[in-house]
Structure 1
Amino acid sequence: MKTHSIFRPTLLVIALAAAFPMAPAWAEDDVAELTSPNTTEAALNLPYTDKANPLYRQYNGVTKEGVSTNVDVDIVRRRDADWFRVNARNLGLRTQEAGISYERQGDWSISLDYDQIPRFSPYEVSTAVSGVGSTRIVQPNIANTAAAANNPNLYDVTLKTEREITTLAASKFLLPGLKLGFSVKNEDKVGSRMSGVRGVTGTGANPANIYSAFLFAPEPINQNHKQMEATVEYTTEKYQIAAGFYGSFLGTKQNALNVIPGTNTALVAANLSPIALAPDNSVQQFYASGAYNFSKDTRANLKVAWSEGRQDDNFLTGQPTLAGIGGSLNAKVQTTEVYSSLTSRLSKDLKVLASWRYEDRQDKTPIRIFGTTTSAGVTTNYLNNPESHTANWGKLEANYRLGAGFNLTGGFDYSNKSSKEWERHDVSELTSRLAVSRTMGDSVNGTLSFAHSERKGSEWNNGTTPPILPVYLADRNRDRVRGMLDVAASEALNVQFAFEAFVDDYNKSTYGLDKGQGQIFSVDGSYALSDVWKLNAWYTKQTGETRQYAQGAVCTTGNGSNCTVNTFRTGTLVQWDANLKQDSDQFGIGLNGRVAKVDLGAQLLIFQDKNKQELSNMPATTCTNASCSTTGAVAAGMGVLPDTKYTQNTVKLFGMYPVSKATRVRLDYIYDLRKMDDYTWSNWVYADGTRVYVKPEQTTQVIGLSLLHSF
Structure 2
Amino acid sequence: MKAQPRMFRLSTVFLAAISTCGAASAEESDAYTELTRPASTISAGAGYWSNARPHQGMYDGMRNKGAYGGLDFNLVQRDDEKGDWLLLRTTNLFLDTREMRVDYLRQGRGGGFFEYVRTPYDNPYTINTPLQGIGSNRVTMGTTLGASPSREVELGTVRELFRLGGFRSLVPGLEFKVDFKNEDKTGTRMTGWGSAPQFSAETIDSTIRQLDTILQYTGGNLQISGGYAGSWYDNRNTQTLQTLSGVSGGTSASFASVTPLSQPLSNQAHQVFMNGGYGFGPTTRATFKLSYSQATQDERIPSYDLTSANAPYAYAPSHLDGKVFTTLAQLGLTSRPTSKLTLTGSLRYYDVNDQTPLAGYVGNSSTGVASVYNTPYSYTKNTGKLEANYRLPLSLSLTGGVDYSGQQRSTPVAGTVYVPFRETLNEITYRTELRRSMGENIAGSLAYFYSERDGSNYSAADGTSPYSNQINPIHISDRKRNKWRAKLDWDALEQLTLQFRVDHISDDYPQGDRFYGASSGSGQVYAVDASYAINDNWNLSSWYARDASGTKASGFREASGGAANAVRETDLKERGDSFGFNLNARLAPKIDTSFGFDLFNNTSRFDQTLNLSGTGTTYPTGVSGPLPDVTSKLMRFKLISRYTLDRSSAIRFDLIYERWQSNDWSWTLADGSDFSYASGTQTCTGCSTTSPNLIDGTTITQKDKQTSAFIGIHYIYTFR
Q: Give the equivalent residue in structure 2 for 1:12.
A: none
In the alignment, structure 1 residue 612 sits paired with structure 2 residue 620: no
Give 2:223's match in structure 1, choosing from 240, 245, 251. 240
1:640 Cα offset (Å)? 2.4
Q: Give the equivalent residue in structure 1 for 2:380.
A: 390
In the alignment, structure 1 residue 318 sits paired with structure 2 residue 314: no
Q: Give the equivalent residue in structure 2 for 1:450.
A: 448
Distance 1:356 1:4, change over 3 A: closer
Give 1:543's match in structure 2, choosing from 532, 548, 554. 548
1:193 Cα offset (Å)? 1.1
Aligned mates of 1:679, 1:543 — CA distance in 2: 21
Aligned mates of 2:75, 2:480 — CA distance in 1: 56
CA contact (8 A) 2:608 2:619 kept: no
CA contact (8 A) 1:2 1:90 kept: no
Give 2:635's match in structure 1, choosing from 609, 627, 649. 649
Q: Give the equivalent residue in structure 2 for 1:217.
A: 200
Q: Give the equivalent residue in structure 1 for 2:416.
A: none
CA contact (8 A) 1:618 1:639 kept: no
CA contact (8 A) 2:336 2:342 kept: yes
In the alignment, structure 1 residue 418 sits paired with structure 2 residue 430: no
Moved more, 575-584 or 151-160: 151-160
What's the TM-score once normalised by structure 2's chain length? 0.85
> Which amino acid is 1:405 matched to?
S
CA contact (8 A) 1:415 1:430 kept: yes
> Which amino acid is 1:603 matched to?
G
1:35 Cα offset (Å)? 4.2
1:77 Cα offset (Å)? 2.4
Distance 1:634 1:417, change over 3 A: closer
Aligned mates of 2:283, 2:633 — CA distance in 1: 52
CA contact (8 A) 1:3 1:89 kept: no
Distance 1:378 1:286, change over 3 A: closer
> Which amino acid is 1:137 matched to?
V
Q: Give the equivalent residue in structure 1 for 2:505.
A: 502
CA contact (8 A) 1:619 1:634 kept: no
1:663 Cα offset (Å)? 0.5
> Which amino acid is 2:653 matched to?
L
Aligned mates of 2:323, 2:402 — CA distance in 1: 35
> Which amino acid is 1:585 matched to?
D
Q: Give the equivalent residue in structure 2 for 1:40.
A: 40
Give SS of 1:442's match.
Answer: coil
Give 1:362's match in structure 2, choosing from 347, 353, 360. 353
In the alignment, structure 1 residue 197 sits paired with structure 2 residue 193: yes
Distance 1:544 1:634, change over 3 A: closer
> Which amino acid is 1:156 matched to?
E
User: Alignment RMSD, CA only?
Assistant: 2.9
Distance 1:323 1:653, change over 3 A: same
> Which amino acid is 2:231 matched to?
S
Aligned mates of 1:602, 1:416 — CA distance in 2: 52
1:390 Cα offset (Å)? 0.5
Q: Give the equivalent residue in structure 2 for 1:20.
A: none
Distance 1:72 1:3, change over 3 A: farther
Distance 1:405 1:524, change over 3 A: same
CA contact (8 A) 1:621 1:633 kept: no
Alignment deviations for residues 600-637 of structure 1 (CA, whole Å, 9 cap, x no partner): 11100000111001123443899xxxxxxxxx997463
After the TM superposition, which residues 150-161 of structure 1 pair with which residues of structure 2 at under 5 Å, given as runs? 153-161=149-157
Q: Give the equivalent residue in structure 1 for 2:661.
A: 675
CA contact (8 A) 1:2 1:60 kept: no
After the TM superposition, which residues 453-464 of structure 1 pair with which residues of structure 2 at under 5 Å, given as runs? 453-461=451-459
Distance 1:635 1:173, change over 3 A: closer
Give SS of 2:43's match.
Answer: strand
Q: Give the equivalent residue in structure 1 for 2:177.
A: 181
Q: Give the equivalent residue in structure 1 for 2:496.
A: 493
Aligned mates of 2:314, 2:255 — CA distance in 1: 25
1:371 Cα offset (Å)? 2.2
Q: Give the equivalent residue in structure 1 for 2:9.
A: none
> Which amino acid is 1:219 matched to?
E
Distance 1:131 1:500, change over 3 A: same
Give 1:129's match in structure 2, choosing from 108, 128, 131. 131
Alignment deviations for residues 459-512 of structure 1 (CA, whole Å, 9 cap, x no partner): 122699921111111110000001110111100111100010100000112111
Aligned mates of 1:64, 1:420 — CA distance in 2: 50
Distance 1:532 1:33, change over 3 A: same
Q: Give the equivalent residue in structure 2 for 1:66.
A: 66
Q: Give the equivalent residue in structure 1 for 2:482.
A: 479
1:219 Cα offset (Å)? 1.6
Distance 1:51 1:501, change over 3 A: same
Q: Give the equivalent residue in structure 1 for 2:645.
A: 659
Q: Give the equivalent residue in structure 2 for 1:437.
A: 435
Q: Percent identity?
A: 31
Alignment deviations for residues 184-241 of structure 1 (CA, whole Å, 9 cap, x no partner): 0000100111211136xxxxxxxxxxxxx41111121000110001111111112112
Moved more, 399-408 or 463-472: 463-472
Alignment deviations for residues 652-679 of structure 1 (CA, whole Å, 9 cap, x no partner): 0011100111010000100010012111
1:324 Cα offset (Å)? 5.4
Give 2:536's match in structure 1, choosing from 531, 534, 541. 531
CA contact (8 A) 2:608 2:620 kept: no
Aligned mates of 1:442, 1:312 — CA distance in 2: 62
Give 1:515's match in structure 2, choosing from 514, 520, 529. 520
Give 2:264's match in structure 1, choosing from 265, 269, 278. 278
Which runs of no fewer than 5 residues in structure 1 stay unpaired?
6-25, 200-212, 557-562, 564-570, 623-631
Moved more, 539-548 or 314-323: 314-323
Q: Would you say how many aligned residue pairs link Structure 1 and Structure 2?
A: 648
Q: Give the equivalent residue in structure 2 for 1:328.
A: 319
Distance 1:100 1:4, change over 3 A: closer
Give 1:402's match in structure 2, choosing from 373, 376, 392. 392
After the TM superposition, which residues 95-106 of structure 1 pair with which residues of structure 2 at under 5 Å, given as runs? 95-106=97-108
Give SS of 1:329's match.
Answer: coil
> Which amino acid is 1:421 matched to?
T
> Which amino acid is 1:197 matched to?
W
In the alignment, structure 1 residue 347 sits paired with structure 2 residue 338: yes
Aligned mates of 2:69, 2:60 — CA distance in 1: 14
Distance 1:433 1:82, change over 3 A: same
What's the TM-score once normalised by structure 1's chain length? 0.86
Q: Give the equivalent residue in structure 2 for 1:582.
A: 574
Q: Give the equivalent residue in structure 1 for 2:469.
A: 466
Distance 1:686 1:175, change over 3 A: same
1:327 Cα offset (Å)? 2.6
1:576 Cα offset (Å)? 2.4
Distance 1:476 1:3, change over 3 A: closer
Distance 1:245 1:152, change over 3 A: closer
In the alignment, structure 1 residue 591 sits paired with structure 2 residue 590: no
Aligned mates of 1:3, 1:353 — CA distance in 2: 31
CA contact (8 A) 1:676 1:694 kept: no
Aligned mates of 1:225, 1:554 — CA distance in 2: 47
In the alignment, structure 1 residue 166 sits paired with structure 2 residue 130: no
Q: Give the equivalent residue in structure 1 for 2:681.
A: none
Aligned mates of 2:659, 2:645 — CA distance in 1: 33
1:326 Cα offset (Å)? 3.5
1:107 Cα offset (Å)? 1.4
After the TM superposition, which residues 108-147 of structure 1 pair with which residues of structure 2 at under 5 Å, given as runs? 108-140=110-142, 143=144, 147=145
CA contact (8 A) 1:38 1:78 kept: no
Give SS of 2:220's match.
Answer: coil
CA contact (8 A) 2:173 2:217 kept: yes
Aligned mates of 2:551, 2:625 — CA distance in 1: 17
Q: Give the equivalent residue in structure 1 for 2:417.
A: none
Give 2:698's match in structure 1, choosing from 687, 690, 694. 690
Aligned mates of 2:524, 2:281 — CA distance in 1: 43
Distance 1:644 1:428, change over 3 A: same
Aligned mates of 2:30, 2:380 — CA distance in 1: 63
> Which amino acid is 1:139 matched to?
M
Aligned mates of 1:374, 1:196 — CA distance in 2: 27
1:139 Cα offset (Å)? 0.8
Aligned mates of 1:369, 1:301 — CA distance in 2: 45
> Which amino acid is 2:502 matched to?
F
Distance 1:644 1:345, change over 3 A: same
Aligned mates of 1:297, 1:265 — CA distance in 2: 80
Give 1:428's match in structure 2, choosing from 426, 429, 440. 426
Aligned mates of 1:488, 1:123 — CA distance in 2: 46
